[in-house]
Structure 1
Amino acid sequence: MTVQPPRDGATRKQHVLHLLASEIDAWVATADEQGEVCQIPLSFLWHDGRLVFATPEGSATGRNLARSGRVRLALGATRDVVLIQGTVTAVASADLEAAVGDAFAARHTWDPRADTAGKAGSYAFYFVTPLTVQAWREANELKGRTLMRDGAWLV
């Protein structure tokens, strides 16, 4: 395997923004009060600088997101990873702005607002505001991997 030369920060930032606009799923890691970790893939929408997820309110992930208000996400392959840490705001389906719900439904050809078949109850939407973003491919990109800190892009 040939190791590519390291990308500069601006190139990595553009790659992150491309993934946010083009990917449809992310790995979502949360923890409960005892520190028990739950990690699942969830579909998302990149909207106005935030990631929007939907999951049943009563699921472990839904409860953890609402309780802690924090999350860690991963996009991309393990050799081209983007890690995002952020804060979470939970919004009930009934309180969701119609334009956001419509955009989510159009992107995923599924509308959580109308889905009541979930074992854990009705769906809520979770808005993730990125605070920290890191991106790297190989060890030669570990230096400079932090592209956002405290919600502000560094590049």
Structure 2
Amino acid sequence: MKITEEPRDAVRRKRDVLARLGRERDVWVATADAGGLPCLVALWFAWDGESLWLSTRLTNPTGRNLRDGRRARLAFGDTQDVVLIDGEVETYGAAGVPAAAAAAFTQRTGWDPRRDSATYAFFRVRPVAVQAWRGEHELPGRHLMRAGGWVI
């Protein structure tokens, strides 16, 4: 990407975001506890076409924050190719996670948290806002989803 390139239109940006969700394996997950203490970690994920599925232990800060706060901000890329996703979180124990979600996660990552430890949980993150930009020239029009609906 060069700053002299024309900004992508919303249709192209959405297509690029969806392609990224299909090919990336790691996502930065930002959460906060009840007191506002932030936590940022990278986690594996699987995209099912509507939600991102994450897994981590309920005994660590990220797991507790996802469960208790029910919100997260997810981020991909560097400062030259940013995707930010704000989402609402649902927590599932190993026994309660939908089979299709667990299978997709296992296939995508090569790891099945259900077989690892009872302290692992799955987290469904439903996007409510999505932003994407490549450099300052793409800041206008960066909002691709608001209130859970694509704006394009």
Instruction: Report the Cα offset of residue 48 of structure 1.
Output: 3.8
Residues 6-155 of structure 1 aligned to structure 2 (within 5 Å): 6-116=7-117, 122-155=119-152
CA distance in 2, matches of 1:153, 1:130: 10
TM-score (norm 2): 0.95
CA distance in 2, matches of 1:65, 1:146: 24
Deviations 1:8-27 (A, max 9, x none): 01000000000111111100
CA distance in 2, matches of 1:138, 1:130: 23
Q: CA RMSD in A?
A: 1.2
Runs of 4+ in 1 over 2 A off after TM superposition: none
CA distance in 1, matches of 2:63, 2:69: 10
TM-score (norm 1): 0.94
Structure 2 residue matching 1:101: 3-state secondary structure: helix
CA distance in 2, matches of 1:60, 1:35: 12
Structure 1 residue matching 2:95: 3-state secondary structure: helix
The range that moved more, 96-105 or 57-66, is 96-105
Structure 2 residue matching 1:95: 3-state secondary structure: coil
Instruction: Report the Cα offset of residue 28 of structure 1.
Output: 0.2
Q: Is the 8 A contact 1:30 1:71 kept in 2?
A: yes
Deviations 1:39-87 (A, max 9, x none): 0000000014000000001110000011111100101222100000010
The range that moved more, 96-105 or 38-47, is 96-105
Aligned length: 151
- Unmatched runs of 5 consecutive residues or more in structure 2: none
CA distance in 1, matches of 2:140, 2:99: 42
CA distance in 2, matches of 1:5, 1:102: 40
Instruction: Report the Cα offset of residue 2 of structure 1.
Output: 3.4
Q: State the identity %.
A: 48
